[in-house]
């Protein structure tokens, strides 16, 4: 009984969202508000059940352990001061903490993963005796493509002349070819999502497909 | 004579009649016995008194199990470069490993548990002949606690499921954390070089050196896009990405938002900033409020211009798409981190007729923005956009410093090309020990950290 109701609600909401393809209409607006409201309510419950309760309420208030957790809890509570204009400035402390922590954690990680690791992946032999010709071609494209891409992202030099002018042109071509491949790959993934939704309507809801 | 013939005929028919009567009984009897040989005696293997069953069991017991020596000594040492939550456990394999040992089980317990309060826990199982050293502490169910002394025992498991336990060993060391991860020295050196360069160019920019920045069409179009919205009397939609505040793209986006909001305040154009992350929302609100104050128009600030929608990805998209079709903003900015929603947002914006400027460092989403938006800031252009808009010496200096860092990377790659060519002529391409390229690669090798 409940499953059938759920199935009908899901199917009607799917069609309501699809109706946006025609134009914005009250049915879409209804579905939009339902999904926004329910997702927010769901998030609040999940956050309490999976984060606040097991990580703060249970250890600190029920078992009296890990009292150090009160410090981040107080820091989090400072966000609530935004509701009180006179002390709203206190909410900047957790923001500053998060920004500083985010930057501090990201810098060494990015240095490792996006700079050193990428340099290492580019320092490859251009020619290996006995290897097929396309391996050499691939290695040359990787190395020269990386150099050209870096030239394109040089902001403090005008993109003119044989090095920066030609290099940046090659760089943007390499970047665009890469984007083209990514585009095709992702579109394939999106189409499979659409197929999944159509299958739900035709199979689960209408029972036309088995 | 005739009587004799008649008697024989009658006897023959009587035999046939008897056969026909007895045949069904015979068939029924055969079916009751089943497929077994009706002549063979039934054997009940569960009955110990049954002679056949006893002889089978005895036959199995006659072959005695092979005597296998247990595994040898266990050595426990502290795992380097960790927070004290890993131990390196090595053991000597059984000398009879070839006689049928399949795996070794490594057990662990805390010494206080010898009274039986804590059972041995299998922390790792390794195949025989594979390796005799493991790192204990990776299993989330059996975490190693810093400073706790454990007991270990290794048991060999044979093919017939016999377990031959070795001696119980009290760990020689306890887990101790290190202050510095020595293998991250290369990362530290890289960070110091890059930060030094950026600070150097900060200083140069502050000393009033005129630093050149090449034009970027997407950034130049921001003023034009704001002007268009003002002329049309329609709002500007600014989406600061869907990621959290810890994301570099979000921080870059919020810096640009400040610049955009300042212009918007000057032109008195309505601004809409929907947010997915509650913390980004608070920072965005602060940033816009600050921009209105800096522009000298704090009274023009609308409290509802920056708002939180929901943290659900596609619910957020549904709401922003609805906003685009209802309010029809003249200009849409999508700057920050985006995932699968990028095309949904940009396509709707394109259909609504807005001028669109996007920017992200998400490589997989950039193609969608490029196809649907008027201008797209690719990767690092997003980070540089703030410096372009503000032209503050510090930010311009930082862009210049980043270029210097890219120069170092380009130099390394170029040196790599030269060394690769040298290797071809000196034999390094075939002999890794002679390869100069591999030596250079070793200087930046960080794969051990992954």
pLDDT, position B10: 54
Who has greater pLDDT, B330 or B139? B330
pLDDT for res A86: 94
Q: What's the rounded mean pLDDT across residues B335-349?
A: 94
Mind listing the pLDDT tens digit for each residue in B204-253? 888 877 788 899 999 989 999 999 999 999 999 999 999 998 888 998 99
B366 touches A: beta carbon within 8 Å:
yes
- Name B88's Cβ contacts closer than 8 Å, sequence gap at least 6: B76, B77, B78, B79, B133, B134, B135, B136
**Any idea where the domains of chain B sit in the sequence?**
74-170, 213-391, 412-449
User: Which ranges of chain A does DSSP label H, i.e. alpha helix?
Assistant: 2-18, 26-47, 70-77, 92-110, 117-122, 133-152, 166-199
Q: Residue B58 pLDDT more than 60?
A: no
User: Residues A53-82: pLDDT tens digits?
Assistant: 999 999 999 999 889 999 999 999 999 998
The domain in which residue A129 lies consists of: 124-210
SS3 B186: helix
Q: What is the ipTM of this complex?
A: 0.91
Residues, chain B: 450
Residue A201, in any domain of the structure: yes
Computed over every residue of chain A, the mean pLDDT equals 92
Q: Domain B74-170 falls in which CATH fold? A: Immunoglobulin-like (2.60.40)
CB-CB under 8 Å, B429 with A112:
no
Task: Check CB contact under 8 Å for A175 and B378.
Answer: yes
CA A87/CA A78 separation, integer angstroms? 9
Do β-strands B375-378 and B355-360 pair in parallel, antiparallel, or remain unpaired? Answer: parallel
Cβ atoms of B218 and B304 closer than 8 Å: no
Answer whether A115's CB lies under 8 Å from A130's CB: no
Looking at the structure of chain A, the number of domains it has is 1
Say what the pLDDT of residue B253 is. Answer: 95
Are the beta carbons of B205 and B394 closer than 8 angstroms?
yes
Long-range contacts of B199-204 (CB under 8 A, 24+ apart): B199/B401, B200/B401, B200/B404, B201/B397, B201/B398, B201/B400, B201/B401, B201/B404, B202/B393, B202/B394, B202/B397, B202/B398, B202/B401, B203/B397, B204/B397, B204/B400
pLDDT in tens, A4-16: 999 999 999 999 9
CB < 8 Å to B286, chain A? 92, 95
Beta-sheet strands, E only, within B10-52 = none
Q: What are the pLDDT digits (tens) for B160-187?
A: 899 999 999 999 999 999 999 999 999 9
Structural domain includes residue A6 = no
pLDDT for the residue numbered B206: 85
| Average pLDDT value for residue range A132-157 | 95
Question: What would the mean pLDDT of A188-197 be, rounded to a whole number?
Answer: 88
Closest CA to B355 of B218, B214, B216, B215: B218
User: Is residue A149 situated within a structural domain?
Assistant: yes
Contact B374, B221 (CB under 8 A): yes
Dig out the tokens for B445 from the structure.
Answer: 């090798």
Q: Give the pLDDT of residue B54.
A: 46
The tokens describing B82, both together, are: 């960790």
pLDDT digits (tens, 9 = 90+) for B291-328: 999 999 999 999 899 999 999 999 999 999 999 999 99
| Residue B35 predicted with pLDDT over 60 | no
Which of residues 73 through 112 in chain A touch B, CB cutoff 8 A? 79, 82, 91-92, 94-95, 98-99, 101-103, 105-108, 110-112
pLDDT at residue B131, as a whole number: 84
- pLDDT at residue B264 greater than cutoff 80: yes
Nearest to B270 by CA among B241, B305, B297, B245: B305
B284 vs B251: CA distance, rounded Å: 10
- Asked if B378's CB is within 8 angstroms of A20's CB, the reply is no
pLDDT over 70 percentage in chain B: 84
State pLDDT tens for residues A79-135: 999 899 899 999 999 989 988 888 888 899 999 999 999 999 999 999 988 899 999
Half-sphere exposure of A182 (CA within 13 A, CB side): 17
Average pLDDT over chain B, rounded to an integer:
86
Superfamily of domain B213-391: MTH777-like (3.40.50.10160)
| Residues B153/B166, Cβ–Cβ less than 8 Å | yes
Mark which residues 225-254 of B lie under 8 Å from A by CB: 244-248, 251
Q: How far apart are CA A151 and CA A146, in angstroms?
A: 9
Q: Closest-CA residue in chain A for B420?
A: A125
């Amino acid at each position: 009984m409940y499953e059938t109701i759920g199935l009908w609600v899901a199917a009607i909401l799917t069609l309501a969202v699809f109706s946006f393809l025609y134009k914005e209409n009250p049915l879409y607006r209804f579905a939009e508000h339902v999904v926004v409201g329910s997702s927010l309510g769901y998030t609040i419950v999940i956050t309490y059940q999976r984060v606040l309760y097991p990580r703060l309420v249970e250890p600190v208030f029920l078992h009296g352990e890990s009292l150090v957790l009160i410090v981040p809890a107080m820091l989090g509570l400072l966000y609530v001061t935004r509701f009180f204009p006179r002390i709203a400035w206190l909410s900047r402390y957790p923001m500053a903490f998060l920004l500083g922590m985010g930057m501090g954690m990201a810098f060494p990680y990015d240095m490792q993963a996006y700079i050193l690791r990428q340099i290492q992946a580019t320092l490859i032999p251009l020619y290996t005796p006995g290897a097929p010709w396309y391996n050499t071609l691939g290695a040359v494209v990787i190395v020269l493509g990386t150099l050209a891409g870096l030239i394109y992202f040089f902001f403090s030099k005008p993109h003119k002349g044989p090095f920066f002018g030609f290099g940046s042109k090659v760089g943007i071509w390499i970047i665009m070819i890469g984007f083209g491949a990514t585009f095709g790959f992702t579109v394939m993934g999106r189409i499979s999502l659409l197929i999944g939704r159509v299958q739900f309507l035709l199979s689960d809801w209408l029972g036309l497909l088995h | 004579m005739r009587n004799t013939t008649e008697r024989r005929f009658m006897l023959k028919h009587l035999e046939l009649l008897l056969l026909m009567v007895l045949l069904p009984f015979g068939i029924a009897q055969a079916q009751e016995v089943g497929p077994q040989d009706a002549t063979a005696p039934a054997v009940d293997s569960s009955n110990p008194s049954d002679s056949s069953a006893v002889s089978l069991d005895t036959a199995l017991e006659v072959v005695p199990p092979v005597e296998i020596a247990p595994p040898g000594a266990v050595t426990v040492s502290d795992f380097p470069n960790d927070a004290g939550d890993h131990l390196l456990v090595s053991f000597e394999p059984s000398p009879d490993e070839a006689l049928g040992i399949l795996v070794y089980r490594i057990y662990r317990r805390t010494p206080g548990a010898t009274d039986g309060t804590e059972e041995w826990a299998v922390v790792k199982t390794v195949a025989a002949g594979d390796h005799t050293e493991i790192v204990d502490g990776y299993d989330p169910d059996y975490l190693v606690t810093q400073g706790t002394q454990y007991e270990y025992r290794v048991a060999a498991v044979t093919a017939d499921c016999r377990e031959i336990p070795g001696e119980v060993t009290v760990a020689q060391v306890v887990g101790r954390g290190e202050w510095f991860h020595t293998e991250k020295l290369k990362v530290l050196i890289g960070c110091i070089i890059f930060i030094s360069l950026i600070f150097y160019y900060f200083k140069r920019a502050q000393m009033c050196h005129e630093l050149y920045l090449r034009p970027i069409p997407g950034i130049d179009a921001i003023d034009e896009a704001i002007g268009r919205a003002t002329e049309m009397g329609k709002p500007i939609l600014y989406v600061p990405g869907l990621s959290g505040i810890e994301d570099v793209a979000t921080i870059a986006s919020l810096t640009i938002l400040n610049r955009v909001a300042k212009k918007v305040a000057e032109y008195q154009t309505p601004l809409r900033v929907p947010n997915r992350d509650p913390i980004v929302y608070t920072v965005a609100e602060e940033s816009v409020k600050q921009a209105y104050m800096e522009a000298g128009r704090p009274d023009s600030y609308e409290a509802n211009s920056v708002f939180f929608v929901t943290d659900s990805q596609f619910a957020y998209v549904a709401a922003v798409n609805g906003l685009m079709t209802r309010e029809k903003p003249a200009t849409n900015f999508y700057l920050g981190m985006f995932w699968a929603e990028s095309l949904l947002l940009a396509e709707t914006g394109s259909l609504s007729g807005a001028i669109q400027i996007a920017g992200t460092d998400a490589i997989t989403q950039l193609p969608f923005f490029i196809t649907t938006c008027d201008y797209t800031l690719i990767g690092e252009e997003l980070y540089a956009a703030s410096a372009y808009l503000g032209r503050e010496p510090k930010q311009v200096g930082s862009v210049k410093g980043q270029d210097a860092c890219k120069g170092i990377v380009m130099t390394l790659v170029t040196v790599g090309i030269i060394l690769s060519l040298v290797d071809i002529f000196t034999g390094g391409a075939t002999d890794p020990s002679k390869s100069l390229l591999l030596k250079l690669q070793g200087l930046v090798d960080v794969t051990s950290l992954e």
